[in-house]
Amino acid sequence: MKKKCLTLCFLVFSLIQLIKAQTSNELWSPISESSKNISNKVEKDNELSKLKLFSLNLELLKNKLNTSTKRGIKGGEYSTVITFPNENEELIEFEVFETATMVGGLQNKFTDIKTYTGKSIEENNYSIRFSISKIGLKAKVLRNKDYSIIIERLNSTRNVYKVYSDIESDVESFSCETEDKFSNSFIKSAIKQQNYQKVASTGGLRIYKIAVATTGELSQEILNQNNIGSNASISYKKEIILSALVDKINTANAIFERDLSLKFVLIENELDLIFIDPESDPFSIENKFILIEEIQPVMDDILKNIDYDLGHLVGTNACGGLASPYALCSPTKAKGISSFWGPLFVHEIGHQL
């Protein structure tokens, strides 16, 4: 009788552990708002009805990722498997690889900023893009073309992360336009030029160098979002903003690689295009019709003979979107404007291609 009782207890314990393993592991643990006294932060940060909260062991995640293989480099059959939660608090296993989002020189200067890509081991329709930097983890789980799952830090709460589906998010309507200043002959020439002026190709994937400038207003929003005080050094502020840009490029590359077999990497001189102060940046006001005329001369002046394939300016939501079509590798390659927040960035770059 005693033996049967022990066996039953063991089975019950195993079942409890199995159920628990479906929603938590050594990296992720689901938490309630009340347990961390963060209900006010949730309300202020995001009012999504299906938002889930997790604590993340970020240092352990970094250690696990140190063994990840860089994509495109042959290294045997070894791979790194990392779990990420979805909006239903289920943990999904992904086989992940490190992927380049900056040219080599820039990456060597900022070794703490890393980007990754991955595919679900069990769910074929799940893929992931994420970055790790001084602003923590930022991840986007892509579920085919249906919707995405966002994983990002709750305000500046160090180890608390919010997980939600972008179906639940209130995406503001946006205004998108393209410059209508080009003749058919110019467009045909640009398309032909696009086919040949690629920087590199790996397994059919075209790789282009992109230069992204920021308005001072956007830089301040990013710094405020991450609680970076005015006393921080300029170099530290620029690294924080660069981290946000790198994450944006990485998630955008998921779409460009899937739909167009191309990707972008930030140029080595990217820091020269990050403007901190709205009062001293080279742009007049955040008006897309004015900015579209200002950005090309600004990049020409700063970058001069530095080689890049596409340029783009990102600002706050006040910018909207505007782009010159078929601008890739052309004299107007920097004439693209978009709001940094939301889907406009990918949309406007799509017009420039």
The neighbouring-strand residues paired with 30 are: 54
Please count the other Cβ atoms lying within 10 Å of the Cβ belonging to residue 348.
Answer: 27
170 against 83, higher pLDDT: 83
Residues 156 and 193 grouped into a single domain: no
| 109 within a domain of the structure (yes/no) | yes
| 15 within a domain of the structure (yes/no) | no
- CB crowding 150-182: b at 16 or more within 10 Å, else e: bbbbbbebebbbbbbbeeebeeeebebebbeeb
| Mean pLDDT taken over the chain | 82
Domain assignment of residue 104, given as a range: 28-165
Residues 272 and 147 grouped into a single domain: no
Residues 156 and 134 grouped into a single domain: yes
Residues 188 and 123 grouped into a single domain: no
| 280 within a domain of the structure (yes/no) | yes
Residues 156 and 183 grouped into a single domain: no
| 136 within a domain of the structure (yes/no) | yes
**DSSP 8-state secondary structure symbol assigned to residue 26:** S
Residues 195 and 314 grouped into a single domain: yes
| 246 within a domain of the structure (yes/no) | yes
Give tens-digit pLDDT for 260-292: 999 999 999 999 999 999 999 999 988 999 999
68 against 194, higher pLDDT: 68
Q: Nearest Cα to 163, choosing from 133, 128, 113?
A: 128
Residues 128 and 245 grouped into a single domain: no
pLDDT at 67: 76
Residues 59 and 99 grouped into a single domain: yes
pLDDT at 184: 42
Amino acid letter for position 346:
V
Classified as helix, coil or strand, 165 is strand
Residues 130 and 272 grouped into a single domain: no
Please determine, for residue 14, whether its predicted confidence score (pLDDT) is greater than 70: no
pLDDT-above-90 percentage for the chain: 62
DSSP assignment string, 295-324: HHHHHHHHHTT---SEEEEEE-GGG-EEE-
Please determine, for residue 46, whether its predicted confidence score (pLDDT) is greater than 60: no
Please determine, for residue 88, whether its predicted confidence score (pLDDT) is greater than 50: yes
Domain count, the chain: 2
What angle separates helix 216-225 from helix 234-260, to the nearest 10 degrees? 100
**DSSP 8-state secondary structure symbol assigned to residue 69:** P
Residues 330 and 191 grouped into a single domain: yes
Q: What's the CATH number where 200 sits? A: 3.40.390.10
Range 207-234 average pLDDT = 96
Residues 92 and 223 grouped into a single domain: no
